[in-house]
Chains A and B, each alone.
Chain A
Amino acid sequence: MHRGHLVRLLGVVLAFAVLAAACGDDDGDSDASASETSATSAAGDAGTATTGSDTSVTTSGSDASTTTPGEAAGDLPPLQLGSIVSQTGIFAAVGAGILRGVEQAEATWNAEPSNRQIAITTCDDQSTPEGGLACYRQLAENSDAIVGPHLFPGYRAVKDLVATDGPVLMTGVPFSEPPAGSYIFQTQPNIDDIVDGQLAYAAEAELTRVASITSNDQPGNIGMDAVANLAGEHGVELVAQETLDPQAQNLSPQAESIAAAEPDVVISWTIGPALINVLRALDAAGVDAPVLMGSGSMSAPILTEAGEQTPPTLLFVASASFEPAAIDDADYRARVENFNDSFVERFDQAPDNNAYLAADAVFYVAEAGTSAESTDDLRDVLQSGEPIESILWGPYTYSGDDHVGSKGRDFEVLEWNLDTQTFTIVD
């Protein structure tokens, strides 16, 4: 074979490889794929050469051919939303849940004809800051609002740009610190607040010897510091403090160190595949103390994958939306159950926390955008102080000074039941 042929062959192989990695599938879910209406294009087409990133963009539509948005929502065109999701790279597994949440929220919202329809353009930030920035540059110009990045690498890259230039950006990063009056809104409580809830539960349950195991990324480090700083306030003793690389496969050293400290409870702050490794390593090391986690770890697929090789009691500080039957407000309960049922029908699995928070971000913007005609309108509606309905945390309220909106919430403590693959509120 001629050398020129070989070079071309190599080029074809590489091009196919990059295309396959960028496109992927949607977890084998043919229904989800079928609902998407348009194509995928390379980021380079959209003028992102400055980053050199190979982000990809997918536009899924409000079904505009069958709905006339103007008739339904005050003659306004469909609200254009950009969605930044980590579909490849080290957070791809987490991003998969986020993408499902975005798709389900879009379908749920657009299914109601009286709603102003939404059209979402999704961009893969490849779990990197560069990818997040490239996605932002592609989406910002033609989007009324952006949902995501919900993971910190992408968010960190776009925060300063969005804060001053817009458009409205809804993020699930639980330490986004959105500047007052900016275009950034956070859809989750802060890490410090959740850790405070964890320690309050530990103190109340008289689990006074606390060990922590946290990932060595930014949210993990914030969680670790919060545990160390707040333990004294709750009268508990921090007996072991371990960190982990989220991609590490052997966490036995950390688990053995925790076992040696004989804690009453272990606070874990990590998500995704690392969570499975943490739980299995603790079990293998003979730790039978309860493991207390945040809502970010509430993923039925992940916990099911961990199986029985975990400490016997897995607890989570979160909202009641993971056990809808316990929600008092009938409308809120119905909304959560409707979302859950549609999600299971579509994806054949229960939504995890990532799906919920991503869906909420879409719902907030969609609801606020019902009558908004500009980015500034959208921001004003969001920070007007009017409660906005959500799935994960109930009614949300932002103000001009507070773009986190969930400070001081009452948390529920839920327990994972492997047999039924559900969470139930602990009395």
Chain B
Amino acid sequence: MDRFLNVTWSGVWIGCEYAAIGVALVVNFRAARVVNVAVGQVFVFTALLAAWLQADGTDPWVALLAALVVGGAITGGQDYLLLQRLRWATPATLLLATVGVSTLLSGAAVVFFGRDPISGKGVVSEGSFELGPWRTSWNTVLFVASVIVLVLALWWLSAKTDVGRATSAAGHDAGAAAMLGINVPLLRLTATAGSGVLLGVAGALFLPLGVLDFSLGLRLTLFGFVAAAISGYYSVPGALIGGLTFGVVDALGTAYLSSTFGLFFTFSALIIIAFATQWVRTERQVFETV
């Protein structure tokens, strides 16, 4: 029981990392119809920035604030300075542009923060605690809670407010939205910058949980993409659930089936989940039609 509980919990916190990146992908897609490959590198860059500031003596809370601001500035700046000016480009060109930004951030991370792997301090006590068989640290709890709260806030903003609905509409058909008087560029900028804020907070809070280096961005984007794709690449809470599912399935598969073939089992399970989800949707449509 101890082992099961702690393995599952490790899947939850790593799943929150995937979820944060997955949600950022979804928000960017809903607002700008762009698969923003750079989001994984934004997560890494802001985390490395926070670690660099901490190493320079900056208070971890201030470093968190800096990561938050820089994360928002990068994704917002990327949209305003690059993607909005490429709005008539093909999806492939837009994808290439985000790959370029990701590579640029990777290079900048090498220049500013070096090639060595980096971890950092948490913003709360470094201590860990046990609750029955459950072992964890305060920083892990804070990371999980922060990601969930921020994702739910983004979901509420995007689905329950006029601004959020307008953003989705602008992303779906920017021309029609503009004719209705919606300030499409501003909404895009706000939404994409919001995703950067999420990435900045998640990146800085992840520092005491793991080790990061400049090269991890695209790998994290891939895992975030999986989290987002599980729910159809359009649902904010779906990406959260997708990330958690991915993390937990991977952790349990690694612990109880094989650490050698952990990812094989994980992706096999996710393919089955995808088929099952489609089957349920189809059945529901048939039922509703009848």
Does any Cβ of B come within 8 Å of A190's Cβ? no
Contact among B7, B111, B262 for A256, CB-based, below 8 A = B7
In the complex, what's the smallest C-beta–C-beta distance from B238 to chain A, in angstroms? Answer: 22
The count of A-to-B residue pairs whose CB atoms sit within 8 angstroms is: 145
Does any Cβ of A come within 8 Å of B101's Cβ? yes
Q: How many residues of B contact A (CB 8 A)?
A: 54
8 Å CB interface, A1-22 against B: 1, 3, 6, 9-10, 13-14, 16-22
Does any Cβ of A come within 8 Å of B231's Cβ? no
Tell me, in angstroms, the Cα distance from A233 to B57 when the chains sit together.
51
Does any Cβ of B come within 8 Å of A216's Cβ? yes
8 Å CB interface, A192-249 against B: 216, 242-245, 247, 249
- B211 engages A260 (CB within 8 Å): no
**Cβ contacts under 8 Å, A277 to chain B:** 210-211
**Known A-B contacts A247-B216, A284-B128; A25 and B260 likewise in contact (beta carbons under 8 Å):** no
**Known A-B contacts A6-B85, A305-B118; A247 and B219 likewise in contact (beta carbons under 8 Å):** yes
**Known A-B contacts A10-B97, A245-B263; A19 and B107 likewise in contact (beta carbons under 8 Å):** yes
- B104 engages A17 (CB within 8 Å): yes
**Cβ contacts under 8 Å, B252 to chain A:** 253
Does any Cβ of B come within 8 Å of A95's Cβ? yes
- B114 engages A276 (CB within 8 Å): no
Tell me, in angstroms, the Cα distance from A348 to B82 when the chains sit together.
40
Does any Cβ of B come within 8 Å of A42's Cβ? no
Does any Cβ of B come within 8 Å of A40's Cβ? no
**Cβ contacts under 8 Å, B17 to chain A:** 249
Tell me, in angstroms, the Cα distance from A285 to B135 when the chains sit together.
8
**Cβ contacts under 8 Å, B9 to chain A:** 252
Task: Write the chain B residue with the least CB distance to A22.
Answer: B107
In the complex, what's the smallest C-beta–C-beta distance from B283 to chain A, in angstroms? Answer: 34
- B103 engages A25 (CB within 8 Å): no
Task: Write the chain B residue with the least CB distance to A221.
Answer: B260
**Known A-B contacts A17-B100, A252-B251; A305 and B259 likewise in contact (beta carbons under 8 Å):** no
In the complex, what's the smallest C-beta–C-beta distance from B255 to chain A, in angstroms? Answer: 4
Task: Write the chain B residue with the least CB distance to A283.
Answer: B128
Contact among B88, B107, B212, B247 for A17, CB-based, below 8 A = B107
Tell me, in angstroms, the Cα distance from A272 to B213 when the chains sit together.
10
**Known A-B contacts A20-B111, A250-B11; A286 and B262 likewise in contact (beta carbons under 8 Å):** no
- A25 engages B114 (CB within 8 Å): yes
Tell me, in angstroms, the Cα distance from A374 to B13 when the chains sit together.
58
- A276 engages B117 (CB within 8 Å): yes
- B116 engages A21 (CB within 8 Å): no
**Cβ contacts under 8 Å, A252 to chain B:** 6-7, 9-10, 251
A289-326 CB mask vs B (1 if < 8 Å, else 0) is: 00000000000011001000000000000000000000
Does any Cβ of A come within 8 Å of B3's Cβ? yes
Task: Write the chain B residue with the least CB distance to A24.
Answer: B110
- A27 engages B104 (CB within 8 Å): no
In the complex, what's the smallest C-beta–C-beta distance from B204 to chain A, in angstroms? Answer: 15
| Residue among A20, A243, A247 with max Cβ neighbours from chain B (10 Å) | A20
- A276 engages B128 (CB within 8 Å): no
- B6 engages A256 (CB within 8 Å): yes
8 Å CB interface, B209-229 against A: 209-216, 219
Tell me, in angstroms, the Cα distance from A23 to B111 when the chains sit together.
8
In the complex, what's the smallest C-beta–C-beta distance from B215 to chain A, in angstroms? Answer: 6
- B259 engages A21 (CB within 8 Å): no
- A92 engages B115 (CB within 8 Å): yes
- B116 engages A286 (CB within 8 Å): no
- B7 engages A28 (CB within 8 Å): no
Does any Cβ of A come within 8 Å of B146's Cβ? no
**Known A-B contacts A6-B89, A260-B3, A277-B210; A305 and B11 likewise in contact (beta carbons under 8 Å):** no
| Residue among B11, B85, B247, B254 with max Cβ neighbours from chain A (10 Å) | B254
Does any Cβ of A come within 8 Å of B86's Cβ? yes
- B86 engages A273 (CB within 8 Å): no
Does any Cβ of B come within 8 Å of A89's Cβ? yes
Contact among B10, B114, B137 for A253, CB-based, below 8 A = B10
Does any Cβ of B come within 8 Å of A32's Cβ? no
Tell me, in angstroms, the Cα distance from A249 to B263 when the chains sit together.
13
Does any Cβ of B come within 8 Å of A257's Cβ? yes
8 Å CB interface, A134-177 against B: none
- B115 engages A93 (CB within 8 Å): yes
Does any Cβ of B come within 8 Å of A259's Cβ? yes
Tell me, in angstroms, the Cα distance from A16 to B108 when the chains sit together.
10
| Other A-B pairs, 17, CB within 8 Å; known A92-B213, A249-B210, A273-B213 | A3-B88, A10-B86, A17-B101, A18-B103, A27-B116, A28-B114, A93-B115, A93-B116, A96-B116, A250-B13, A250-B250, A252-B251, A253-B10, A256-B7, A276-B117, A284-B128, A284-B135
Pairs across A and B, CB under 8 Å, 29 listed: A6-B89, A10-B97, A14-B96, A14-B103, A18-B103, A21-B106, A23-B107, A27-B115, A89-B215, A92-B214, A93-B115, A93-B116, A93-B213, A96-B115, A249-B14, A249-B17, A249-B210, A252-B10, A253-B7, A253-B262, A256-B10, A256-B255, A259-B3, A260-B3, A276-B211, A277-B211, A284-B135, A302-B117, A305-B118
Q: What 9 pairs across the A-B complex have the smallest Cβ distances?
A: A20-B107, A252-B10, A273-B117, A253-B255, A17-B104, A21-B107, A24-B110, A250-B14, A253-B254
